A = this chain, B = another copy of it.
Amino acid sequence: MAGAIADVAALAGVSKATASRALSGKGYVSPETRQRVVQAASTIGYVASPNAASLVTGHTKNVGVVIPYIGRWFFGQILEGIEQQLLARGYDMTLYTLEPFSPARDRVFDFFLARKRFDGVIAVNIQPAGDELERLHRLGIPLVGIGGPLEGIPTIAIDDERVAALATEHLIRLGHQRIAHIGGSLAEQLDFSVHGERLAGYRAALADAGLSEADQFVPTQLSMPGGYDAAVQLLSDPTNRPTAIFAASDEVAIGTIIAARRMGIAVPTDLSVIGIDGHDYAELFSLTTVEQHPREQGVIAADMILAGIDGETAEPGVRDLPTRLVMRSSTGRPAGA
């Protein structure tokens, strides 16, 4: 209906080959001829079929993205970054959600990703199980990861342990001695070792300050309700209550703050809270946080995959992105300090 390149060629009075060259810009075509072809294409409303082109060139102008969730703020930000960058370069983004222990995983790896439909694949917070990593490599296309080390694959991430230590040290520096950590359950490490690394950073900071006995870790889901529940549990005993909480994500921190206030505990007067992420809503809650700019990570990942497609070979290994401590009123000195 929209017309094939043969129609354009006919209308312009040239061969298909010339039309192709004129439209793609590859190969020699005289300016006048090109002009005529372009003209013909536009009057006919011609749009090239990428399928046909892919068949011969081997390039699909399509990047696959594998991600554990779409609906969560953090992942949504990453996706927006990737998509924006891909679109600007004329690439499509095809999305697969791959929940941690979903049975659909196999199908995604064996069927969807294996079909030579992509020029590259971005794996967001995917901890490959079993031979999934090998299957990724077998695709024979550029691969980029976000969120943790993937053997043989260039990955962008933040240094979770350092960031956690940074946040904890901030609380210590304010004079807190009883600092609890609400973080992701180690059993549910959907992504990489993130949860464990943040816990490790927290513990390292405590140890450095000689506060190891004060170690108090409550695992929960990384969401506002998760933070709420954990905080209720943690703060319900008035005699044995921490003065500060390091939450593994801003959502958790916000849930914590909500719970605390509902329990009559003032933030930051009676309880200091610090989170990680730089969530859109952090400001609303005056939340001190370590920003990690997920959207920017998406943009960078897209750039890297595009470079890989263009033939630039990137070094495998983790590239740690800078983070920034943004102080707001949710951390304060402990009472009496």
Contacts and interface: CB of A to CB of B under 8 A. Distances in A.
Contacts of A258: 284-285
Interface stretch (A77-85, A185-193, A242-250): A77-85
Q: How many copies of the shown chain assemble into the complex?
A: 2
A43 to B, nearest CB: 14
Interface in A77-105: 77, 79-80, 83-84, 87, 90, 92-97, 104
Interface stretch (A48-56, A169-177, A199-207): A48-56
Contacts of A1: 140
B94 A94 contact: yes
Given A255-B284, A281-B224, A51 B47 contact: no
Bin chain A's interface residue count: 35 or more
A2 B307 CA distance: 24
A97 B81 CA distance: 11
A133 interface: no
A227 to B, nearest CB: 9
B224 A284 contact: yes
Interface stretch (A31-39, A107-115, A124-132, A159-167): A107-115
B83 A115 contact: no
A83 B96 CA distance: 7
Interface stretch (A12-20, A21-29, A66-74, A318-326): A66-74
A126 to B, nearest CB: 16
Contact of A284 (B71, B77, B228): B228
A70 B60 contact: no
A116 B51 contact: yes
Contact of A80 (B55, B70, B93): B70
A115 B48 contact: yes
A62 interface: yes
